[in-house]
Chains A and B, each alone.
Chain A
């Protein structure tokens, strides 16, 4: 048994209250003194100190309800977060009912889905909640039975006195426990005592999912609700000039058509306010089909938009260039930028001198296109604006980020905004950008009715907020003995650089230079599963593969050699990663994949490893290529994300990350011609399908006692590099441009 961090305890204050019908409800709140989150750094927003609360309910009939605070988009926190509470509460998992909490910053901590931080941030907090409730029930039992608390034990929601054989349910004591002061010293179980954490548990929502229950925002409906869509400019860089809705308004079921302005002209933009088009035309009708048909009759005139300035909340003005942009031109611009000096992000030793003295230099340039999120449930939100209040049922990853923007645009206090958190049919970063909630609220207000705003798939694919386009050029310098003496990474993108200057192989090479650049654009971008990392891993891990071949070294042995250097004698002071954990996943994947074993000699395999979101992942992929068809036989994943709370859900995440990554590496691309996306739906946007998924995926976790780190994102980036490296083995050709599959010859 160990005590929680004393700082944390001193800062905490717990709240307990009685339930009607006799029972207890426990809340705990404190100011989390979390370190700045790496994920937040990745998303370029300031870390905040937040009040943290969470609660459980125990009724007198011993039914136990645990609220899951975080928005759910398939990462399965509705199972894993309540498991943390149930572990310390010492209840039978089967008797726990889980419910999604609504948006309620006073009641819940950190209702935040993004950056793979859900479990990491809840690890001590939610266990403390469970432990406090258990201790209070024990105290109530000790008083009721007039027995010392030290003689009582708990298990499966029962309090037992072994000497006398007395045993009663938690529910028996819940009402009395609710009147007790909350304990000051809250003791958490040692990891060895876990009975639930670390055991595979099935998704608690699965029975509803398999029956198609209306869990999603798209499924929400209520009496009097109207359906709405928005018509937007057909291309980035265009804006609304005028429109004629006469014919469209005459279409069956159409209630109203009007323009809305998403943000005020003087809006101060926060990081997640991104939206592609500010003025759109809302079409409101009685059914989705009515609205879809009326849209076709709408006569809108669009014009090329001028250059725009947007003021950020940070006081910095951002220029959004005018023009109709094209992918072809973006690629040419990126190559141009590569020739100019970049912004120096890190410099160790004397890289210029080392490159000057090098006997051999390998230079390679890697690129990747925009990617659309392709959340399977298209963007939507229910909103009902009445008086000065608005009620949402919304699929939204980080409601806290949108509320201030809603306050600014809707002119109502934040207390007048209520949000029911709908299950999200995927998110991957897309639903962190909640402009659609503002759109829905404005439409409801104007239409004076409850409305459900729906984006069609075409709206979703063509309407912006994409994974940026990226490019990275790596140069490696070697001496006469083929020893790596210097390394240079120069990366940029449209309109964001992917560079993580302080990540591996920084720290492992004496002479190191990292530079970045950006190309401003009017194409809007968003976080996309493991932002920046999803490209870095592909480029860096391909490059390391190629230079290890030049040096005549095994690719895993070469990486381990670099990591050993970073571990023993790191270069520079700021290295983001833990070399030992990095080595751990490489060693595990080497063992589990039978890397280098004679029986695998004929396999076309590639390896890759990456660190992001505080975790470490390594993958080996085995594939075959026939013509332009790629068959993936097996993926072996090794992951170090600390203690694994729910191995079943964790494996599912890691499997999905591999499939998602293989799909995006082979097929994923969103291209533009004159500002218009060339892909608008799944008939033109190529997604990975059943027959292209790996035949087998093995997931292995490094077993350790480290508090949980990220899981949803870390196994996604490295697979891109593994695919490229295996394709090289299969075809004899290196792949530098994503997506890879179109470069194969039928």
Chain B
């Protein structure tokens, strides 16, 4: 059923009319035009659509808009003003990306990891990042970038 919702994304409240089951992913991409959050699988299995819900990494393809009342969402567009979040800077420094499609989700997962665990071990990184798939195979660089960001 189509309803009106207000959602707080990147510190700004948006009024949205949408089907109650519409996942946040498609609200962001099709209604709000915020396309940094990527569609990869739609079943919560690849992590390309990762955003922060109250600071925690979640898969936006699994979050219906009707469940977002009173929450704060951060997307890749809101992670930093100029792409200068330590994780983003580390991603550039380590030259992580190949095709780049999964990297928004990887970065959002990494930023959430470091927020809760500023000095993760290699195992912490591997376990936390396991939900984010990269077919280009940039995993070792992602790990390096997270370790670099942890020093900043």
Binding site for B on A (CB under 8 A): 73-76, 202-203, 205-207, 209-216, 218-219, 221, 227, 252, 287-290, 292-293, 374-378, 423-428, 454, 456-457, 648-649, 652-653, 655-660, 663, 681-683, 687-691, 693-697
Chain A residue with Cβ nearest B106: A690
B124 to chain A, nearest CB (A): 11
**Interchain CA distance A376-B137 in the complex, whole Å:** 11
Q: Is the CB of B142 within 8 A of A212?
A: no
Rank and list the top 4 A-B pairs by shortest CB-CB distance, nearest first: A212-B36, A425-B101, A659-B137, A74-B99
| Residues 8-39 of chain B, each 1 if its beta carbon lies under 8 Å from chain A, else 0 | 00000000001100110010011101011111
Q: CB-CB < 8 A to A660: which residues of B?
A: 135-137
Q: Is the CB of B98 within 8 A of A75?
A: yes
Binding site for A on B (CB under 8 A): 2, 18-19, 22-23, 26, 29-31, 33, 35-43, 45-46, 48, 75-77, 83, 88, 91-93, 95-104, 107, 122, 125-127, 129-143
Which residue on A lies nearest to B97, using beta carbons? A209
Q: Which of A218, A655, A688, A689 lies at the interface centre, i.e. has the most chain B CB atoms within 10 A of its CB? A: A689
27 A–B contacts from the bound complex (CB under 8 Å):
A202-B93, A206-B96, A207-B92, A211-B36, A212-B36, A212-B38, A218-B38, A287-B31, A288-B39, A289-B30, A376-B102, A376-B133, A377-B38, A378-B39, A424-B99, A425-B38, A425-B102, A426-B135, A457-B42, A656-B136, A656-B138, A681-B42, A682-B45, A687-B133, A690-B132, A690-B142, A693-B137
B139: nearest residue on chain A (CB-CB)? A693
Closest A residue by C-beta to B104:
A212
Interface centre among B18, B22, B96, B137 (most CB of A within 10 A): B137
A695 touches B91 (CB 8 A): no
Contact residues in B for A696 (Cβ distance below 8 Å)? 140
Provided the pairs A211-B76, A428-B135, A656-B138 are in contact, do residues A690 and B126 lie with their beta carbons within 8 angstroms?
A: yes
B100 x A689 contact (CB < 8 A): no
Q: Are A74 and B136 in contact (CB under 8 A)?
A: yes
- B129 engages A690 (CB within 8 Å): yes
From B37, B83, B130, B143, name the one whose CB has the most chain A CB atoms within 10 angstroms: B83
Known: A205-B100, A681-B41. A293 touches B95 (CB 8 A): no
- Nearest Cβ on chain A to B130's Cβ, whole angstroms: 5
Q: Is the CB of B100 within 8 A of A288?
A: no
CB pair A682–B133 under 8 Å, yes or no, is yes
The residue in chain A whose Cβ has the minimal distance to the Cβ of B88 is A210
Docked CA distance A205–B129 (Å): 23
Q: Which residues of A contact B33 (CB under 8 A)?
A: 221
Q: Which residues of B have CB within 8 Å of A456?
A: 42
Return the chain A residue nearest B83 by Cβ.
A211
A3 vs chain B, min Cβ distance (A):
35
CB pair A252 B77 closer than 8 Å: no
A690 and B130: CB pair below 8 A?
Answer: yes
Q: Are A690 and B125 in contact (CB under 8 A)?
A: yes
| Interchain CA distance A696-B98 in the complex, whole Å | 18
Chain B: which residue is nearest A458 at the CB level? Answer: B42
Q: Which residues of A contact B31 (CB under 8 A)?
A: 287
Q: Which residue of B lies closest to A253 (CB)?
A: B19
Q: Is the CB of A209 within 8 A of B103?
A: yes
Q: Which one, B83, B88, B136, contacts A426 given CB within 8 A?
A: B136
**C-alpha gap A167/B100 in the complex (Å):** 41
List residues of chain A with CB within 8 A of the CB of B37.
Answer: 212
A648 to B92, CA, bound (A): 12
A216 touches B101 (CB 8 A): yes
Residues in chain A near residue B39, CB distance under 8 A: 218, 288, 378, 454
B83 contact set on A, CB distance < 8 A: 207, 210-211
Which B residues are CB-close (under 8 A) to A213?
36
User: Measured between C-beta atoms, what is the minimum distance from A191 to chain B in Å?
Assistant: 24
Taking the closest CB of chain B, its distance from the CB of A645, in whole angstroms, is 15
Cβ-neighbour of B140 out of A73, A209, A292, A694 (below 8 A): A694
Residues of B close to A691: CB separation below 8 A: 126-127, 129-130
**Are B139 and A659 interface neighbours, CB within 8 A?**
yes
Q: Which residue of B lies closest to A202 (CB)?
A: B95
In the complex, A76 Cα to B129 Cα: how many Å? 24
CB-nearest residue of chain A relative to B36? A212
A202 surroundings in chain B (CB, below 8 A): 92-93, 95
State whether A693 and B140 are in contact (beta carbons under 8 Å apart), knowing that A203-B95, A376-B133 are contacts in the complex: yes
Q: Which residues of B contact A648 (CB under 8 A)?
A: 95
Chain A, Cβ-Cβ closest to B131 = A689
Knowing that A211-B36, A660-B137, A690-B126 touch, tell me 18 more A-B residue pairs with CB under 8 angstroms: A75-B98, A202-B93, A206-B92, A206-B97, A206-B100, A209-B91, A210-B107, A212-B38, A290-B19, A374-B135, A378-B40, A425-B101, A426-B101, A426-B136, A656-B98, A657-B137, A683-B41, A683-B43
Complex alpha-carbon distance, A40 and B122, angstroms: 42
Residues of A within 8 A of B126 (CB): 690-691, 693
Q: Which of A210, A377, A656 is in CB contact (< 8 Å) with B137?
A: A656
**Could you tell me the distance in whole angstroms from the C-beta of B17 to the nearest C-beta in chain A?**
11
Asked whether B35 lies within 8 Å of A221 as measured between CB atoms, the reply is: yes
Known: A212-B36, A227-B30, A691-B127. A425 touches B99 (CB 8 A): yes
Least CB separation from A683: chain B residue:
B45
Tell me whether B135 and A289 are in contact (CB under 8 A): no
Q: A210-B107, A681-B41 are in contact. Are A74 and B77 (CB under 8 A)?
A: no
A210→B91 contact, CB < 8 A: yes
Point out the residues of chain B lying under 8 angstroms from A663, CB to CB.
137
Min CB gap A691→B, angstroms: 4
**A376 and B101 contacting across the interface, CB-CB below 8 Å:** yes
Q: Which residue of B lies closest to A72 (CB)?
A: B99
* Known pairs A375-B135, A649-B95, A690-B125; A681 contacts B30 (CB<8 A): no
Q: Which residues of B contact A374 (CB under 8 A)?
A: 135
Chain A: minimal CB distance from B152 (Å):
14
Closest-CB distance, A564 to chain B (whole angstroms): 33
Chain A residue with minimal CB distance to B129? A690
B148 to chain A, nearest CB (A): 13
Of the residues A203, A454, A681, A689, contact of B97 by C-beta under 8 Å? A203
Provided the pairs A74-B136, A376-B48, A690-B126 are in contact, do residues A287 and B26 lie with their beta carbons within 8 angstroms? yes
- The residues of A that contact B38 with a CB separation of less than 8 Å are 212, 216, 218, 376-377, 425
Cα of A689 to Cα of B140 in the assembled complex, Å: 11
Chain B residues within an 8 Å CB radius of A73 = 99
**Which residues on the A side are within 8 Å of B102 (C-beta)?**
376, 425
Chain A: which residue is nearest B26 at the CB level? A289
**Least CB distance, B18 to chain A, in whole angstroms:** 8
On whether the beta carbons of B134 and A289 are closer than 8 Å, the reply is no
Question: Which chain A positions have C-beta within 8 A of B103?
Answer: 209-210
Contact of A690 (CB < 8 Å), options: B23, B91, B96, B143: B143
A213 to chain B: closest residue by CB? B36
User: Given the complex, which residues of A lie within 8 Å of B137, measured CB to CB?
Assistant: 655-660, 663, 688, 693
Could you tell me the distance between the alpha carbons of A689 and B135 in the complex, rounded to whole angstroms?
9
Q: Is the CB of B30 within 8 A of A377?
A: no
Are B138 and A288 within 8 A (Cβ)? no
Q: Report yes or no: A206 in contact with B135, Cβ–Cβ below 8 A.
A: no
- B88 close to A211 (CB less than 8 A): yes
Q: Provide the residues of chain B in CB contact with A289, threshold 8 Å.
A: 18-19, 22-23, 26, 30
